[in-house]
Amino acid sequence: MSFLKASLAWIEERTGAMAFIAPLLFHHVPRNAKWWYVFGSATLMFFTIQIVTGVCLATVYAPSAAQAWESLNYIDNEVPMGWMLRALHGWSSNAMVVMMAIHMLQVFLHASYKYPRELNWITGVFLLLTVLALAFTGQVMRWDQDAYWGLGIGAAIADRIPVFGDQVRAMLLGGPIIGGETLNRFYALHVFVLPGAAIALVGLHMVLIIKNGISEMPKPGAVVVPSTYRKEFEERMHTDGVPFMPDAAQRDMVFCGVCLIGLFALAAISGPIGPGGMPDPTLINTNPRPDYPFMWLFGAVSLLPPASETAIMLIAPAIGVLLLLAIPFFSNSGERAPSKRPAMVLLAVVTVMAIAALTWEGTTSPWSPVMDGWSSLPTPAKFTRGRTPLEMQGAVVFQYAQCRNCHALDGQGGRRGPELDAVATRLSYDQLVRQVQQGGGNMPAYGKNLDSAQTAAVVAFLATLHPSNEPDSMIPGAQLPIPTGSAAAH
């Protein structure tokens, strides 16, 4: 033992390592922090996992558009433990984004960004951007159909930038098309630039945490007064603080341990994420979707009114980032307790709900036609029973003319247009004809595309879609069911 001690002393005398680390480990933190403060540590742990698994994957992954997709399949299927490494890397990426969001939310709700921790917040915002950029570039690394068409969407958005759109797009893609140089650009970002930035920012974030201390739990009435805060805080830490190691670190360790085991289980059970279809742009039977961290953006872009979407897509992200950066400058003193900042709490709740709702919308994407609805979904039997031949013919036209891609029957089919189970109760016969022929709303005009016999048949079918206790759509003014009527038949 004394030899060990002597060796340590020998190293210490030459490096001063302990003298450097000890204050970091044993600095005093608030006694009452409890479990609220574990999320930042968990984010950092996931980041560490990303670096380790990322370096491992880079030893096999071929960063070339011609081979990337095959090399991923090779890692999944041939390399020992390769699938698990990819699973860990993919799920840890999602977990890191989630943890970071929770960490940010906690800091926001507790107003920990107030004096003197404004720069803690700002480095945090840049970390958020860096991590999201890592997630996006990581999705490109999969180089599957989603990656290819996702880049296409990015290129199309860049293209809408006034004046420089062309140049920005070329910079993004590294050329006039999505190809080899595109992947390599994103690869350089994903494995060199962004991790480097993230490591530097994490370092800065930590230095600031040590310098400014960990904020106390907010108490109503305990206001932040910049002129006296630091002195009083240091006094309180001195008299009432507890050393980070082990008092606070023990909770971090327990939480991170649980997270790590959870990640392992998730990765082992769910397996690697992708790669999806091979990145051949001539295989167009694809339904491009972004990864989960970007699902809400996909939802937002899809729901924007077309007339203003360019402006919103280009400006809103910049405004969002500026607002995040500005928060500690607008309010850097005063109350920190959520109960004294109801507007801020409301803002946080609304933001979280909006992101959750948009994620849900993005996941279900009701605006997308079900591209194979017309050919793969059966016509519900209850809508065929007792129908006349003309109405049956209309049911066939309804499938055949892809109406089902956008309109659901009995809950199955597209959600782009209204479900038509009871359309006869909403539209008269003439209105049905007009809607089919002229379209309107989000519906194309079928007038040019269906001949009159097909239109008559499909309208006759639609006119029978109603609850059994209601009549078919009538010709206005006529007291009788439409001439081809099915009332007699059922």
Q: How far is CA 412 from CA 204, 287, 377, 402, in A?
A: 53, 18, 7, 13
Minimum distance between the CB of residue 60 and other proteins, rounded to whole angstroms? Answer: 18
**Structural tokens at position 476:** 């206005």
Contact 435, 445 (CB under 8 A): no
Minimum distance between the CB of residue 155 and other proteins, rounded to whole angstroms? Answer: 6
In this complex, which beta carbon is closest to other proteins, that of residue 41 or of residue 454?
454
In this complex, which beta carbon is closest to other proteins, that of residue 67 or of residue 333?
67
**Structural tokens at position 444:** 């194309």
Distance CA 213, CA 279 (A): 49
Minimum distance between the CB of residue 300 and other proteins, rounded to whole angstroms? Answer: 11
Task: Let me know the angle formed at the C-alpha of 298 by 292 and 300, rounded to the nearest 5 degrees.
Answer: 120
In this complex, which beta carbon is closest to other proteins, that of residue 92 or of residue 402?
402
Contact 271, 75 (CB under 8 A): no
In this complex, which beta carbon is closest to other proteins, that of residue 5 or of residue 448?
448
Distance CA 320, CA 369 (A): 31
Minimum distance between the CB of residue 276 and other proteins, rounded to whole angstroms? Answer: 14
Which positions touch other proteins (CB under 8 A)?
Answer: 64-67, 148-149, 152-153, 155-157, 159-160, 165-171, 173-182, 184, 278-282, 284-288, 301-302, 304, 306, 309, 367-369, 371, 374, 400-403, 405-406, 416, 439, 441-446, 448-450
Minimum distance between the CB of residue 72 and other proteins, rounded to whole angstroms? Answer: 13
In this complex, which beta carbon is closest to other proteins, that of residue 96 or of residue 377?
377
Minimum distance between the CB of residue 359 and other proteins, rounded to whole angstroms? Answer: 16
Report which residue type is found at 380.
P
Distance CA 172, CA 194 (A): 15
In this complex, which beta carbon is closest to other proteins, that of residue 55 or of residue 177?
177
Minimum distance between the CB of residue 220 and other proteins, rounded to whole angstroms? Answer: 47
Residue 436's nearest CA partner among 413, 452, 416 is 452
Residue 399's nearest CA partner among 415, 420, 378, 414 is 378
In this complex, which beta carbon is closest to other proteins, that of residue 48 or of residue 302?
302
Q: How far is CA 22 from CA 16, 27, 431, in A?
A: 10, 8, 79
Q: How many Cα atoms occupy the beta-carbon half-sphere of 268 within 13 Å?
A: 6
